[in-house]
Amino acid sequence: MFLYHFICYWSILWNTQIIVFTLAISRYLCYTISIMAAKLPMVAIIGRANAGKSSLFNRMVRSQQAIVAREAGTTRDNVTGKVQYQDHQFWLVDTAGLKDPLDEFEATIQHQIDDAAEAADVIIVVVDSTEYPGDEDRMVAKKALKSKKPVILVTNKADLKTSLPDTEFRCLGISDSIRTSAEHNSGIAELLTKITDLIPIARESEPDDVVRIALIGRPNVGKSHLFNTLAGKQQALVANIAGTTRDLGRTRVTFHRQTLELIDTAGVRRQGKQEVGIEKFSVLRTLQAIEEADVCFLLMDVGELNTQLDQRLAGLINEAGKGLVLVVSKWDSVEGKDAFTRDALAPKIAHSFDFVPWAPLIFTSSVTGQNVTKLFELATDIITRRNQATKTRVLNDLLQQAVQKHPPAGLKNSHPKLRYMVQTDTAPPWFVIYGSNLKFVHWSYKRYLERLLRETYDYSGTPVKFSYRDEKQIKANRERIAKGLEPVTKAYKQRKKAEQSAK
């Protein structure tokens, strides 16, 4: 009887522990899911011009995203970056600084600051600690306190000898104050700790299938206007002044369950006209955006088509192996156009860009919204084509048919022999042809092979890359490696792996 009660007691205790453990696990999972599903908080940096906001932004996001210069008013568009500090993640927004009310961009800049302050969970007011508070500082502080959001006052440039004590800034009415030096990374950890105390814990996983689309073109061709139209909101400054955009503007949209990241870039002028300083940095950021993007929209003003710089930009995108769409903007500004105007312009544009005949051409208008949605469809279709893989057997059949129909020409007793072809990479599609005497393959024959490949498989919108590997040279390299005359390189390992997969 005693043994029976003992067994019942321990069975009840054991089941209770299982229930408690299960409840603890379920609570932990619910807490984790709620953190992962929570929207990341947003922190906005506001202040007058040349107070060091962009330097502070770069320190906190740990990258040179915002252009920093001594010239007041360098930043014009809001620059957004993700900050991760300890267990917290949040979005940080760098806004343009308040300056002269007569400035042509000041009205739009104040509107962007208001939008950032309204959407933010925490507002950071940055002031220059070497100067006494002015009217712009009081206006910014009043704007931040009026929002009823948590406000942190940052007295930047505290490392300089002429910096003022914190008592001089109490007139702004902000109780929380932190002294920082963005240039020397002083006070940044204290500022991040203060921010994380004011926001909830939230994490956001980065999607693996983000398609990055860069808007490339000369100044004042309508990139920022199209960027705002695609984003569905006023994200970037729009003006008839060339060089309005300086930093890279980014925003994400969802199209048919596909996450698209739009990148607005600065206009590129020819090198002789580029000014030293901010414009040089802006052009470098544009070239960086080309390398980062999957698809590039090359915008061309309908009133100034077929320029040499547009062709050069298309060549840079082609060499980078990125998807390309030729976009003719401001189509609404054409006077007296009819149904045949587009058909008359398209062949002329195609002739100027005959080195990228695979790039689709589209006429758009950001004012009327004509063909804007089709840009999303073109981008997603190009991504699908860039990632399609082809079987080696099918490629070899295509190669043998091409050689039989049109054998490659060469020199006497040195005719090229194309043996087999494999696809080694996607995005962009990359094909390697193995054979002998391949250095004698004429460029026209290479174009012939590419044309056959494009006729067989739809690779419109993306460049196709070819490499040629001479088997005699590969054999000689193997012998040198076996004798210890050359180190085993990464390229050698990739070639060997491709050969094994082809066999």
| Angular region, 45: left φ>0, alpha ψ -120 to 50, beta rest | beta
| Residues annotated in a binding site | 94-98, 156-159, 217-224, 264-268, 329-332
Nearest to 48 by CA among 111, 133, 152, 165: 133
> Residues 272-298: what's their mean pLDDT?
72
Instruction: Please tell me which of 278-292, 355-369, 461-475 the model is most confident about, judged by mean pLDDT.
Output: 355-369
Domain with CATH 3.40.50.300 in the chain: 42-198, 211-381
Helix, strand or coil for residue 328? strand
Banded pLDDT at 414 (limits 50, 70, 90): confident
From the CB of residue 423, how many other CB atoms can be counted at a distance below 10 Å? 19
Nearest to 105 by CA among 245, 310, 260, 279: 245
Any idea how long the chain is? 503
Banded pLDDT at 397 (limits 50, 70, 90): very high
Whether 241 shows a pLDDT value over 80: the answer reads: no
From the CB of residue 259, how many other CB atoms can be counted at a distance below 10 Å? 15
DSSP 370: B
Is 157 in contact with 52 (CB distance < 8 Å)? yes
Instruction: Please tell me which of 47-51, 206-210, 376-380, 407-411 the model is most confident about, judged by mean pLDDT.
Output: 376-380
pLDDT tens-place string over residues 14-62: 444 443 333 343 343 333 333 333 478 889 898 888 888 888 988 898 8
Cα 284 to Cα 379: distance, rounded to the nearest angstrom: 24
* CATH placement of domain 42-198: 3.40.50.300
> Residues 171-178: what's their mean pLDDT?
90
Cα 271 to Cα 307: distance, rounded to the nearest angstrom: 14
Is 157 in contact with 181 (CB distance < 8 Å)? yes
Instruction: For domain 392-502, give the fold.
Output: GMP Synthetase; Chain A, domain 3 (3.30.300)
Residue 217 bridge partners (DSSP):
299
> Residues 398-411: what's their mean pLDDT?
88
Is 202 in contact with 41 (CB distance < 8 Å)? yes
Name the CATH superfamily for 211-381: P-loop containing nucleotide triphosphate hydrolases (3.40.50.300)
For residue 360, CA distances in Å to 305, 313, 321 come to 16, 16, 15
Look at strands 122-128 and 151-156 and give their pairing: parallel
What's the pLDDT score for residue 472?
A: 74
> Residues 182-193: what's their mean pLDDT?
90
Whether 496 shows a pLDDT value over 70: the answer reads: no
| Residues annotated in a binding site for GTP | 94-98, 156-159, 217-224, 264-268, 329-332
Domain with CATH 3.30.300.20 in the chain: 392-502
Q: Average pLDDT, whole number, for the chain?
A: 79
| Range of weakest confidence among 38-42, 79-83, 277-281 | 277-281
Helix ranges restricted to H, 98-207: 106-119, 135-146, 188-198
Element (H, E) at 153: strand 151-156
Is 392 in contact with 359 (CB distance < 8 Å)? no
| Range of weakest confidence among 31-45, 187-201, 465-479 | 31-45
Whether 290 shows a pLDDT value over 80: the answer reads: yes
> Residues 442-464: what's their mean pLDDT?
91
Is 223 in contact with 267 (CB distance < 8 Å)? yes
> Residues 284-311: what's their mean pLDDT?
86
Element (H, E) at 422: strand 417-425
| Range of weakest confidence among 309-318, 405-414, 481-490 | 481-490
Is 124 in contact with 141 (CB distance < 8 Å)? no
> Residues 349-365: what's their mean pLDDT?
92
pLDDT tens-place string over residues 139-161: 888 888 888 899 999 999 888 88
Banded pLDDT at 432 (limits 50, 70, 90): very high
Tell me what percent of the residues of the chain surpass a pLDDT of 70. 74
What's the pLDDT score for residue 140?
A: 87
